[in-house]
């Protein structure tokens, strides 16, 4: 598939898998995806498996991501993980502001913006998640909701930092529900997000930002979604927990 930006497909394993299970999955993925060069493939295990998975993907084309991070550095922040701690395990990406964290941990756009700045400060690439709920879509306010999230979650970042940020558009109603946005619905919001980025930092920056789609991505809908001009990859939950489905999503996207 000829794309303006290199696709990035990330697996968000959420709160799943023991260390042994994580190692088994990543060994299978290494084998299955060894020849893939056209897509940046990222796996995001639980914190407890980062060290083991980091060693298991050495010298491979698979990159490592974390699912969250504290907004401070080292210090008296009980229970938090500092950006520098992730760097110890060669983590390259960090998912920020996933809708589950926005919902259950009440994460605000302002907090996500502080985390995104901290990630860039440590040379980690943030994957910043945005997306509307079903009620918001039905009320016809998808665009203003997403615009507020984008502007709030990227507040204070420089143009260079925004350019290196990955955005994941994940309609909340499509996450883990089996309901996927149609490719047209996804493209419409992705194009809208790119327009917001143009307004913030100009056309050249906006054109370089990769915008992933997330929400029940499966092997059978990946190609159609990835073929949309402003869809630059996928953030995959459920289907990333099993080698066959994740590997097929990657292969079907090429
Ligand atoms: C997610 O949690 O980021 C996600 C997209 O989940 P799923 O693929 O299971 O809908």
Ligand 1 pocket residue status of 11, Cβ below 6 Å: no
Which range, of 1-5, 37-41, 132-136, 212-216, averages the lowest pLDDT? 1-5
- Average pLDDT (128-155) is 97
List residues with catalytic annotation.
98, 170
* Predicted local distance difference test score (pLDDT) of residue 251: 98
Q: Which domains does the chain have, with CATH numbers?
A: 7-253 (3.20.20.70)
Which whole-number Å values give the CA distances from 106 to 60, 100, 198, 238, in the listed order? 36, 9, 29, 23
φ/ψ of residue 128, rounded to 5: -95, 120
Q: What distance in angstroms lies between residue 50's CA and the mean position of ligand 1's atoms? A: 20
**Smallest CA separation from ligand 1 atom 7, residue:** 237
DSSP E strands: which ranges in 116-250? 125-130, 166-169, 210-214, 233-236
Residues 51-65 pLDDT 10s: 999 999 999 999 999
What is the percent of the chain where pLDDT is above 90? 96
Cα–Cα distance measured from residue 152 to residue 20, given in angstroms and rounded to the nearest whole number? 38
Among 235, 246, 248, the mutation site with the greatest number of ligand 1 atoms within 8 A of its Cβ is 235
End-to-end CA distance of the chain: give it in Å, rounded: 5
> Nearest CA to 69 among 53, 54, 85, 49?
85
Instruction: State the pTM of this model.
Output: 0.97
Summarize the confidence of residues 123-136 as an average pLDDT.
98
The confidence score (pLDDT) of residue 178 equals 87
pLDDT of residue 2 exceeding 90: no
């Amino acid at each position: 598939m000829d794309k303006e930006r290199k696709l990035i497909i990330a697996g968000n394993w959420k709160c799943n898998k023991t260390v042994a299970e994580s190692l088994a999955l990543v060994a299978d993925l290494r084998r299955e995806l060894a020849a893939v060069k056209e897509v940046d493939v990222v796996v995001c295990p639980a914190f407890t498996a980062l060290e083991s998975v980091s060693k298991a993907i050495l010298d491979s084309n698979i990159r490592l991501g974390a699912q969250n991070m504290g907004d401070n550095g080292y210090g008296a922040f009980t229970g938090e993980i500092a950006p520098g701690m992730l760097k110890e395990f060669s983590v390259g990406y960090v998912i920020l502001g996933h809708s589950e964290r926005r919902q259950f941990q009440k994460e605000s756009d302002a907090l996500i913006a502080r985390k995104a700045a901290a990630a860039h400060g440590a040379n980690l690439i943030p994957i910043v998640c945005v997306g509307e709920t079903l009620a918001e879509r039905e009320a016809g306010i998808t665009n203003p909701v997403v615009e507020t999230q984008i502007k709030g979650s990227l507040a204070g970042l420089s143009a260079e930092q925004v350019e290196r940020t990955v955005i994941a558009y994940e309609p909340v109603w499509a996450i883990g529900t089996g309901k996927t946005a149609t490719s047209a619905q996804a493209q419409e919001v992705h194009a809208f997000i790119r327009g917001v980025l143009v307004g913030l930092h100009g056309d050249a920056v906006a054109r370089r930002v990769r915008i992933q789609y997330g929400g029940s991505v499966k092997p059978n809908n990946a190609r159609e979604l990835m073929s949309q001009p402003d869809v630059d990859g996928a953030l995959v939950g459920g289907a990333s927990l099993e080698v066959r489905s994740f590997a097929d999503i990657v292969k079907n996207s090429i």
